[in-house]
Amino acid sequence: MPWNEPGNNNRDPWSGGGGGQRGSGGGGGGNQPPDLEEMMRKLSRQLNGIFGGGGSGGGSGSGGMGRGAQALVSLGLIIAVVIWLASGFHIISEGERGVVLRFGEFQQVNNPGPGWHLPYPIERVEIENVDNVRTLSHRALIVTGDENIIDVDIAVQYRILDLVDYLFNVRDPDTTVNQVMESAIRERIGKNNLDFILGEGRGEIASSARVVMQENLDAYGAGIIVTAVSMEQAQPPEPVQGAFADAIRAREDEVRFRNEAEAYANGVIPRARGQAARVIEEAEGYRDQVVARAEGDASRFDQLLAEYQQVPDVTRDRLYLEAVEAVLEGSQKLMLDVGSSNNLMMLPLDQLFEGTSSTGNSSSDTPTPRPLDTSRSVFSNSGSGTSGAQGDRNPAAQRSREVR
């Protein structure tokens, strides 16, 4: 049997899948013609029946038996013929097409629905689903145009466009689709650079691969249409993914660094403006303070002077005595008549100065104006009391007694 020679068994014309279904009378799934061996076996069984029947009939009686046996044989034959004819029925489901071959010669394409063809061995029908979208997927490491390696996962969808071409032109068309897919996608990826494929080029590569695939399949007359090619995944290979992820992080870092710096700038500049405003305000406060105090001091002096000029001596003495009184009032005193006796004296100075360090240096709560001697308020002991001395440089001075 030449059609059974090696390499030709994929599409052995008479070894369709549904070999044993002839007995089902052409209903349901009896689409495929029966297997040849099966056929032969049945035929021989029938022949054996005929001859066996004939032999036994001949052995048992000469003519009387003949009529009954003949009727039986005729009935058997008729049934056989009916079954044979019924085996030509087939049903083509929705989405399928059937190709009818008469002695191997193409006759027609049958559309979905029930149908009948001349039974085996005259005609056969080969049914294939043409609307069903078939999918293939492929994942591989592929060399890119810039000699990098990329990990690509690609999926292809295709279906049969022309069943006759599909059946008759290419051996193993589905495998062919696979081969064409691999070739096309690798070619397209080899034409492009890694960054492009990873980035915006993904769709473009898939669609151009689709075009290449379709061209190839058309050149083979495969009767297949590629409906979609999609690059499910395009990523750097596993060994370098860390580096790629780091590069992406670096991009984020770039933005982050800038944002941080901007945050810093946004914090610094307004604060500086605030500080500037404070400095100005303080300066203005100082100016007003200094001017006001100067005016006060001047006014006081002027008034005192006016009185002084009327009775200078008395006023002078009074002022002097009051001042010395105030100075000596709160302080420790030691009276020595140094002038009259030149005796050497031992003064317990350490006792005298005991406790001095603890007194009088508590700081004022008002900010200290800039030390500018000429401008400093001269009269800290203004008449209204210690409050008038506020802002003086030495806070200890504020605690001095009033003159009066």
Partner 1 sequence: MLRIAGIAVIVLGIVVALSTYTVDERDRVIKFALGEIREVDPSPGLHFKFPLIQNVEKFDARIMTLNIPPDRFLTSEAKNIIVDFYAKWRIDDVGQFYRATRGDERLAEERLAQILRDGMRNEFARFELQDVVSGERLTIMGAVRQTALETAKELGIDLVDVRIRRMDLPEEVSESVYERMRAERQRVAQDFRARGQEEAERIRSRADRERTVILANAYRDSEEIRGAGDAIATETLGRSFGEDQEFFRFYRSLIAYRNSMSGENSTFILEPNSQFFQYFNAPGGERPAPLPAR
Assign 3-class secondary structure to 217-250.
HHHHCCCEEEEEEEEEEEECCHHHHHHHHHHHHH
The minimum distance between CB 151 and partner 1, in angstroms, equals: 12
Give 157's contacts (C-beta < 8 A, 6+ positions apart).
133, 134, 135, 226, 227, 228, 229
The minimum distance between CB 245 and partner 1, in angstroms, equals: 9
Q: Determine if the peptide bond prior to 121 is cis (ω within 30°).
A: yes
In the complex with partner 1, which residue's Cβ is closer, 64 or 333?
333
Task: Quote the tokens at residue 194.
Answer: 């890694």
The minimum distance between CB 113 and partner 1, in angstroms, equals: 23
**Are 80 and 72 within 8 A, CB to CB?**
no
The minimum distance between CB 44 and partner 1, in angstroms, equals: 10
The minimum distance between CB 206 and partner 1, in angstroms, equals: 18
- Coil, strand or helix at 120: coil
Tallying the residues shown for the chain, one arrives at 404
Whose tokens are 């473009």? That residue is 204
In the complex with partner 1, which residue's Cβ is closer, 115 or 236?
236
The minimum distance between CB 342 and partner 1, in angstroms, equals: 13
Please work out, in degrees rounded to the nearest 5, the angle formed at the alpha carbon of residue 175 by the alpha carbons of 169 and 179. Answer: 105
Q: What is the CA radius of gyration of the chain?
A: 60
Task: Quote the tokens at residue 362.
Answer: 């508590």
- The C-alpha atoms of residue 327 and residue 73 are separated, in whole angstroms, by 160
Task: Quote the tokens at residue 383.
Answer: 């008449």
The minimum distance between CB 229 and partner 1, in angstroms, equals: 16
The minimum distance between CB 38 and partner 1, in angstroms, equals: 16
- The C-alpha atoms of residue 150 and residue 197 are separated, in whole angstroms, by 9
**Are 362 and 354 within 8 A, CB to CB?**
no
In the complex with partner 1, which residue's Cβ is closer, 131 or 253?
253
In the complex with partner 1, which residue's Cβ is closer, 131 or 317?
317
